[in-house]
Amino acid sequence: MASMAMTTLDPQSRAARRGWSDLTIRNMFIIPTIVFLIVFNIFPLLYSLGYSFTDFRASTNAPANFVGLANYKALLNDPFIWRNFAITAKYVIVSVAGQVVVGFGVAMLLNRSIPFKGFITTLLLLPMMLSMAVVGLFWKLLYDPSFGIINYAFGLDRFEWLSDPDVALYAVAITDIWMWSPFVMLLSLAGLSAVPKHLYEAAAIDRAGPFYTFFRITLPLVAPILMIAIIFRTMEAFKTFDLAYILTSQPTTEVISIRLYKMAFQEWQTGMSCALAYIMLIMVVAITNIYVKYLNKVKER
Amino acid sequence: MAAVKTRSEVALNRIAIASVLIVTIIFLAPIYWITSTAFKPRNLATTIPPTVMFEPEISPFVKLFLRRSQLREQPTPEEYAAAPWWERLVFDGGEKIVRDGRGNVQLSGYPSRFANSLIVAVVSTVLAVGMGTLTAYGFSRFKVAGEQDWLFFILSTRMLPPVVVAIPMFLMYRWFGLNDTHIGLIILYTAFNLSFSVWLMKGFIDEIPREYEEAALVDGYTRMEAFFKIVLPEAATGIAATAVFCFIIAWNEYAFALIMTRRTAQTAPPFIPSQVGSGLPDWTVIAAGTFLFLLPVAIFTFLLRNHLLRGMSFGAIRK
């Protein structure tokens, strides 16, 4: 790391004798951000940790009663919550796998000399920059069984994408794949372009087949960056709310964030929802940890 | 790469180009469909087979901005002739524009939601990028005990699921009367973008050689002068890219806006879907609203194209 080049915080330094000392400047620059994040992220979480041990309901004026771990016990024993987690897991697997296949595949296609490559790449990246809620809404029209262009384009006569409970989750995943494959593509392209060309030349001289070249050269070298894309998308898919909430109201698409939202803001089981939020939080922090480890690993290369 | 290409390589390349073309068309089809629907007459928006060729109109945009109601009886020819061109477009669609007692037209809910989105996104971006740049400089140039842990802490706040944060924030905002206010939403978006901006800006500032500042310090600048006159101008591109990213994130945000706002401070993402409601929605108006809402982001994406990789990986991957 750059620590050996770090400026020492010497209050007697020449620069410090004029104007503020480096120490003052450092604190002035860093502390407000830390305080802001603690006040608006960490403090609310502590607040809700407290509520997670109560039967508080924000819709009534009744005081909150301490119930200990009862909320957590009830949640972990609730088969419906486990079903929500199962739906979330299925959604994560389908949509992340789809994004990796499509995104990496397109990146492989783009990783050669193609006319207007830069322009085409930017066009392909467009979906991920758009609002999930607003574009997701429009997919309702695309999926419409009677006049949607998807059924028309694929010759599916009146196929019920969003109102068939068995299909709805896949429909949401398809929209998510459309939006976020570009992200995997972007990272894969960076990884692919970093593979040294001489490795391919050496493989060609050795008459290595395309499969050998792909599995022994391309994939191992792109793997770390691809891993970052996968972990990041897994985390985002786990938290997913907008798309599924907007596209359909099927019970089979009730991912855990939607359950949490309904519990907190429609059923007003505030205490219980805080407990569920904490269960989710622990899972997210675990994935974040893995993600940051990989980020640092790739950075060091 | 070898200079001489075999015939199979050429063929392979052609297949790749054709595939890229097909993929691009599929990926852009939904965006094209939004755009084209925004300029269609209502009766052509939901036809089978889908209408591809049509005479574009701007009636969806007129309807988007003005309050209107169902036409109970046809306007008389005099009324029709006296009406301005945009009112006639609404008449043609079987609706009329709602006017108040003085005969003034009234705006629909859309312009105010669009303005809210703009206010909240711009102010939160300025705050997040301003604070983020300072903090990034602090971490980049000075010794901080437990630097990696602090940076991890900052990043982890960005990873929290919005609904999880929203529950306690909603209760606290209710206490302070901040629900459905611009300030409330600005605080949330600033917090959300702050960690992103610190990570991204740290990457940009790390790249500025510290010799520049050291030379300035030797020349008699104070550290603050060196920061404002040397580092900030050098980091200008990075600051601009970070700002555009923060703006897009705040502009697109849905969950917080859905939970924390009802009317006064409601932004466009929760408003546009709420228009669909029950019955047969007018998809041309929804498409027009969606189109206007997506347009700034599409333009920004092209301006940002060289920084997308960096932004999307929190500054971890640079090219």
What average pLDDT does range B231-242 have in this prediction? 95
Among A232, A81, A93, A140, CA closest to B290: A140
Name, in order, each residue with C-beta under 8 angstroms of B300's C-beta and a sequence gap of 6 or more: A129, B244, B247, B248
* A110 → chain B, closest CA residue: B20
Phi/psi at B70 (nearest 5 deg)?
-60, 145
Query: What residues of chain B, 101 to 160, have a C-beta less than 8 Å from chain A?
Result: 131-132, 134-135, 137-139, 141-144, 150, 152-157, 159-160
Distance from C-alpha of B37 to C-alpha of B171, rounded to nearest angstrom: 41
Residue A166, min C-alpha distance to chain B (Å): 24
Is the model's pLDDT at A177 over the cut of 60? yes
3-state class of A161 per DSSP?
coil
- Per-residue pLDDT at A70: 94
Domains of chain B, first to last: 67-106 (no CATH), 111-312 (1.10.3720.10)
Of residues A139, A195, A181, A168, the one with CA closest to residue A251: A168
- The answer on pLDDT for A1 being more than 50 is no
Task: Please name the residues between 15 and 44 in chain A that touch chain B, using a CB distance below 8 Å.
Answer: 15-16, 18-20, 22, 25-26, 28-30, 32-34, 36-37, 40-42, 44
CB A33 within 8 A of CB B135: yes
Among residues B54, B53, B43, B45, the alpha carbon closest in space to that of B95 is found at B43
Interchain proximity A127–B298, CB inside 8 Å: no
How does residue A3 score in pLDDT terms, banded at 50, 70 and 90? very low
pLDDT tier, B95 (very low <50, low <70, confident <90, very high otherwise): confident
Report the pLDDT value the prediction gives residue A4, as an integer from 0 to 100.
43
Cβ of residue A202 closer than 8 Å to a chain B Cβ: no
Inter-chain residue contact B313 with A228, CB threshold 8 Å: yes
What integer pLDDT is reported at residue A13 of this predicted model? Answer: 58
Alpha carbons A35 and A144: distance in angstroms, whole number = 48
B19 contacts chain A (CB < 8 A):
yes
Peptide linkage before B49 cis (omega within 30 of 0): yes
pLDDT at B274: 87
Rounded CA separation A138/A124 (Å): 18
- Nearest residue of B to residue A30 by CA position? B135
Q: What are phi and psi of B49, to 5 degrees?
A: -70, 155
Residue B124 has which token pair?
């939160």
Q: What is the average pLDDT across A41-69?
A: 90
The pLDDT value recorded for residue B152 is: 87
Residues A53 and A55: their CA atoms lie apart, in Å, by: 7
CATH fold of the domain at A70-300: MetI-like fold (1.10.3720)
Helix (H), strand (E) at residue B123: helix B110-141
Q: What pLDDT does residue B2 have?
A: 47
Give domain limits for chain A. Answer: 10-51, 70-300
**Residue from the list B27, B33, B132 with its beta carbon closest to the beta carbon of A149:** B33
Average pLDDT of chain B to the nearest whole number: 90
Query: Considering only CB atoms, which chain B residues are within 8 Å of A30?
Result: 134-135, 138-139, 144, 150
Contact (Cβ atoms closer than 8 angstroms) between residue A298 and residue A228: yes
Residues 6+ positions from A57 with CB-CB distance below 8 Å: A268, A269, A270, A271
Sign of CA dihedral B113, B114, B115, B121: positive
Give me B248's structure tokens: 């897009």
Nearest of B22, B46, B15 to residue B33 by alpha carbon: B46
CB contact under 8 A, A284 and B48: no
For the residues B223-248, what does the mean pLDDT come to? 94
Q: Does A236 touch chain B (CB under 8 A)?
A: no
Query: From A272, which residue of chain B is nearest by alpha-carbon distance?
Result: B167
Question: Token digits for B311?
Answer: 């932004």
Whether B187 contacts chain A with CB within 8 A: yes
Q: How confident is the model over A154-158, as a mean pLDDT?
A: 86
DSSP secondary structure string for all residues of A166-201: TTHHHHHHHHHHHHHHHHHHHHHHHHHHTS-HHHHH
For residue range B35-85, list pLDDT tens digits in order: 999 999 888 888 888 888 888 888 899 989 988 888 777 888 888 888 888
How far is residue B179's CA from residue B89's CA, in Å, rounded to a whole number? 39
ipTM score assigned to the predicted complex? 0.90
